[in-house]
């Protein structure tokens, strides 16, 4: 049973984590026992654990925050033995190094940092980078088959892996780069010219329409297009279909002319 100090402290930390979740980690207390917290760690994109989803528990003593928790990871990762306590500076293996100012967020951030390191200790396993990537790819499916995961995180029991509230700056940067405007043209011959040729993202339709598609005057000073609606739509369709091909050809011609003059 949790002491009043532990109850108060862990309740406060839960509110803080909901308000400002740390990157790549998420945790909730058990509904029946606030001393047991289930957590999820997501592997950063630049690590062998990329896209992995790792479920485990923090087992707090009734004396928390004056004593550290026990820590386990259930999901196979190639880094820790599943369902065995992990030894690192913030766990109950090292009560002498424990700092009562540390919180759930601090512990999980430290666990993620330790997971990304190569340090071997009690509870660790040694696996190759390729093996860890395989475990990462299989992790969500493995979690979905575990009653403990489904009970603790029903909102994450989806077909596809669901992002945590804070997926870190590396994911945001990756998303931003994918949303950047595409480059429509690059010179086919990098030695052809030092002049940079660029094309705007939006090209207006030509302002001049060939005389062949302009009809006779109606005597009121206005010219009409033959079948104006159909022809305009046809021209617009043709332009959208061929404009980039035409622009690329023109760009190549200009590039070659510039090279010849140089």
User: Per this entry, what is the length of the chain?
Assistant: 262
Provide the greatest CA pair distance for the chain: 99
pLDDT at 1: 85
Q: Is 87 tagged catalytic?
A: yes
**Please, which pLDDT band fits residue 64 given cuts at 50, 70 and 90?**
very high
One domain, residues 14 and 69: yes
> Which residues make beta-bridge pairs with 58?
37, 71
One domain, residues 210 and 123: no
pLDDT at 164: 96
Query: Residue 73: inside a domain, yes or no?
Result: yes
Query: Residue 135: inside a domain, yes or no?
Result: yes
Window from 48-57, 105-114, 166-175, 180-189 with minimum mean pLDDT: 180-189
Query: What pTM value is reported for the model?
Result: 0.65
Catalytic entry in 45, 50, 87, 225: 87
Domain count, the chain: 2
Tally Cβ neighbours within 10 Å of residue 242.
11
**Please, which pLDDT band fits residue 97 given cuts at 50, 70 and 90?**
very high
Quote the domain boundaries for residue 217: 181-262
One domain, residues 214 and 98: no
One domain, residues 197 and 243: yes
pLDDT at 166: 95
Query: Residue 174: inside a domain, yes or no?
Result: no
One domain, residues 96 and 224: no
Percent of the chain with pLDDT over 90: 63
The yes-or-no verdict on residue 117 having pLDDT over 70 is: yes
**Tens digit of each residue's pLDDT (9 = 90 or more) over 137-189:** 999 999 999 999 999 999 999 999 999 999 985 444 443 333 333 333 333 34
Peptide bond into 107 cis (omega under 30): no
Which CATH number goes with the domain that contains 90?
3.10.110.10
State the chain's mean pLDDT as an integer. 77
């Amino acid at each position: 049973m949790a002491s009043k100090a532990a109850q108060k402290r862990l309740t406060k930390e839960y509110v803080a984590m909901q308000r400002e979740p740390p990157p790549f980690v998420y945790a909730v207390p058990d509904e029946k026992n606030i001393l047991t917290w289930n957590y999820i760690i997501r592997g950063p994109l630049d690590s062998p654990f990329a896209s992995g989803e790792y479920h485990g528990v923090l087992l707090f003593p009734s004396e928390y925050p004056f004593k550290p928790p026990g820590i386990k990871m259930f999901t196979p990762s190639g880094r820790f033995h599943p369902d065995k306590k992990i030894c690192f500076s913030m766990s109950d293996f090292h009560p002498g190094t424990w700092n009562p100012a540390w919180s759930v967020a601090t512990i999980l951030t430290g666990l993620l940092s330790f997971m990304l390191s190569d340090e071997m200790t009690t509870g660790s396993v040694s696996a190759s980078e390729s093996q860890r990537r395989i475990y990462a790819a299989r992790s969500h499916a493995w979690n979905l088959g575990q009653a403990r995961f489904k009970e603790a995180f029903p909102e994450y029991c989806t077909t596809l892996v669901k992002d945590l509230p804070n997926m870190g700056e590396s994911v945001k940067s990756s998303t931003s780069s994918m949303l950047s405007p595409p480059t429509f043209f690059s010179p086919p011959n990098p030695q052809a010219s030092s002049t940079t040729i660029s094309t705007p993202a939006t090209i207006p339709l030509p302002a001049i329409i060939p005389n062949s598609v302009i009809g006779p005057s109606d005597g009121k000073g206005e010219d009409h297009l033959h079948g104006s609606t159909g022809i305009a739509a046809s021209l617009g369709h043709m332009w959208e279909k061929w404009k980039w091909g035409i622009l690329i050809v023109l760009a190549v011609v200009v590039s070659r002319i510039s090279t010849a003059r140089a």
